[in-house]
Structure 1
Amino acid sequence: MKIVYMGTPDFAVGALDALVKAGHEIVCVVTQPDKAKGRSKELTFSPVKEYAVEHNITVYQPVKIKETESVEYLKTFNADIFVVAAFGQILSKEVLDIPKFGCVNIHASLLPLYRGASPIQQSILDGQKETGVTLMQMDVGMDTGDILMQEAIPITNEDTAGTLFDKLQELGADMIVRALPLIEKGQLTRIPQDESKATKVGKLTKEMGCIDWNKDADYVDRLIRTTNPWPSAYTTMNGKTLKIWKAIPLESTDEVLENGTVFNITKNDFMVKTGKGALKVIEVQLSGKKRMSAGDFLRGNHLQNGDRFI
């Protein structure tokens, strides 16, 4: 099939690569405009643009894809279908109506759950036991279109946003390759979403990584995994920021301490009292330093029983 592919972050690269390897003709890649990063403000390509440039695929970067100029340009490719994965802009009806088979979105949740920008992270934070990928026939709403294909995978107690991202990226890539021939033959049944079960999630922010030690240990553990690799979970002690990358939640403790208090320091780890239970800290990163085991951190810093994180 002739495909216009729309995507921006790393998540979208897997499906693009799978489509190329499956022999589909990617006539154009649409991605967000280059962004200035760092102190130098040097413009950087999105991961999807990097892939497209490496494979000599035409790249289009509209500031607003809804504009007439963009609509008319996309029509020139005579694509059979538009495949969309974390593109970052809402498509207008004029854009959705261009290709013969419409626009299909690869969304990293079991829709109608977790419509929006951060479904992978929110599924971990909410303690869901499974998540998955939905292929959706796009309409003008935010992730509201009919479901074409949906597959689930379990969320383990070890999963971070990073590991789950990789699993869902691979699943989405596999699904879109399997789905396209069925779409072309009209063999996929469109299933309307149940609006009564719909939930929405916004974008992750750095502030969301701040640990509230009044929460129970299981929640704090999920927050740590939710914000790994970005923006990371963090706390403060003596004016310094300490990121916590890995921990083990304990449901109960006999310690009668203020929430956020450090106790039971050993050579390799330490405990922090939470609203319910406690957290055994395994891997950390002090502001300005590299990530390290809790044991290495303890050997280089004077953490004492009774110290308190805020």
Structure 2
Amino acid sequence: MKIVFMGTPDFAAVSLQSVIEAGHQVGLVVTQPDKARDRGKKVQLTPVKELAIAHDIPVLQPERIKNSPETLETIKAYGPDIIIVAAYGQIIPKTLLELPPLGCINVHASLLPKLRGAAPIQRAILDGETETGITIMQMNEGLDTGDMLAKAITPIGQMNYEQLHDKLAILGGELLAEVLPWIKARQLAAASQDEEEATYAPRIMKQDGKIDFNKSAEEIERQIRAFDPWPGAFCSYMGKTMKIWQARVLESQGQDVPGKVLSVSDEGVDIACGSGILRVLQIQMPGKKRVSVKDFLRGNHIEENCILE
């Protein structure tokens, strides 16, 4: 098939690699503009662009695709059979949705209709879902509301965001390669989404990482995993921001002031929560690297009975 691929981050690059390896003709790649990142402000290519260049695929990078007639004309001139979208990062205009004979399909990182929107991987962990997966859907003008073509499921277990992201990226690429021949042959039955079961996964903001110790230890532990590596789950200790990267939940019969440091040892820092106790295993102080609590305590001290905020 003649394919236009639209995507930006690592998650999308895995799907593009699968399409290329399956032998399809990817004639154009559309990705977000390059941005200056990190302290040196060096311009970095998007992962999808890097892969496209490695395979000599032309790349388009409009600031806003809906306001770029040049991009739309270039895609139209190529005449794709299908457009594949994976974490592109912009709304696809109706003119593009209706252009290819086989339509536009999206590789979405949740089991639709659950967790439509920008941050389905983080929200799946936050919400305490036991499993999640990939849905390949036929795109329409709604927010992830199109008919579903295929799904693949994976348990979440104790994975953090980074681990689950990588697992889903691979799963998405595999499922995409599997279903493309069926889509080409028009032999894949589409299933409509049940609107009554729909949930949403809004974009994650930096402030979402702030820990509220009035919540249960289970909720906070999920927050820590969901926000690793960004934005990180954090609290205030002695006026400084302390990030918590690993923790586990301890059973507790009693109740204490939420946020109170109950004990400090090489085993971890035990903190009272709205219910249960959180044992913190790995932390990071400003300007320092992530370290285990055991390593941190070799040259530092955490006060027992203080209140983390």
Matched to 2:122, the amino acid is Q
* Residue 201 of structure 1: how far off its partner (Å): 1.7
After the TM superposition, which segments of 4 or more aligned residues of structure 1 sit over 6 Å from their partners?
Answer: none
Contact 1:218 1:251 in 2 (8 A): no
Can you list the C-alpha shifts for 1:166-190, whole angstroms capped at 9, x where unaligned?
Answer: 1111110000001100001111101
- Alignment correspondent of 1:184: 184
Report SS of the residue matched to 1:300: coil
Contact 2:60 2:71 in 1 (8 A): no
| Number of residue pairs matched by the alignment | 308
Can you list the C-alpha shifts for 1:7-52, whole angstroms capped at 9, x where unaligned?
Answer: 0111101111111111111111100111122444432211111111
Can you list the C-alpha shifts for 1:99-122, whole angstroms capped at 9, x where unaligned?
Answer: 121111000001111110000000
Contact 2:52 2:58 in 1 (8 A): yes
- Alignment correspondent of 2:299: 300
- Identity score, percent: 47
- Alignment correspondent of 1:129: 130
* Residue 192 of structure 1: how far off its partner (Å): 0.9
Query: Structure 2 CA distance, aligned partners of 1:101 and 1:128?
Result: 33
- Alignment correspondent of 1:221: 221
Matched to 1:195, the amino acid is E
Report SS of the residue matched to 1:178: helix
* Residue 287 of structure 1: how far off its partner (Å): 1.0
* Residue 243 of structure 1: how far off its partner (Å): 0.7
196-205 vs 212-221, which moves further: 196-205
Contact 2:161 2:226 in 1 (8 A): yes
Matched to 1:215, the amino acid is K
- Which ranges of structure 2 fall in alignment gaps of 5 or more residues? none
Contact 2:113 2:195 in 1 (8 A): yes
Query: Structure 1 CA distance, aligned partners of 2:38 and 2:133?
Result: 34
Report SS of the residue matched to 1:4: strand
Contact 2:115 2:199 in 1 (8 A): yes
- Which ranges of structure 1 fall in alignment gaps of 5 or more residues? none
Report SS of the residue matched to 1:91: coil
Query: Structure 2 CA distance, aligned partners of 1:232 and 1:300?
Result: 24
Matched, 1:29 2:40: no
Query: Structure 1 CA distance, aligned partners of 2:31 and 2:253?
Result: 50
Contact 2:132 2:156 in 1 (8 A): yes
Contact 1:112 1:194 in 2 (8 A): yes
- Alignment correspondent of 1:11: 11
- Alignment correspondent of 1:69: 70
Query: Structure 2 CA distance, aligned partners of 1:267 and 1:172?
Result: 40
Can you list the C-alpha shifts for 1:45-86, whole angstroms capped at 9, x where unaligned?
Answer: 111111112222110001121233322111111111111000
- Alignment correspondent of 2:275: 276
- Alignment correspondent of 1:247: 247
> CA RMSD for the aligned pairs?
1.2
Query: Structure 1 CA distance, aligned partners of 2:299 and 2:123?
Result: 35
Can you list the C-alpha shifts for 1:253-310, whole angstroms capped at 9, x where unaligned?
Answer: 43x5321111222223120111101101111111110011110112221212112211
Query: Structure 1 CA distance, aligned partners of 2:301 and 2:191?
Result: 59
Matched to 1:93, the amino acid is K
| TM-score, normalised by the number of residues in structure 2 | 0.96
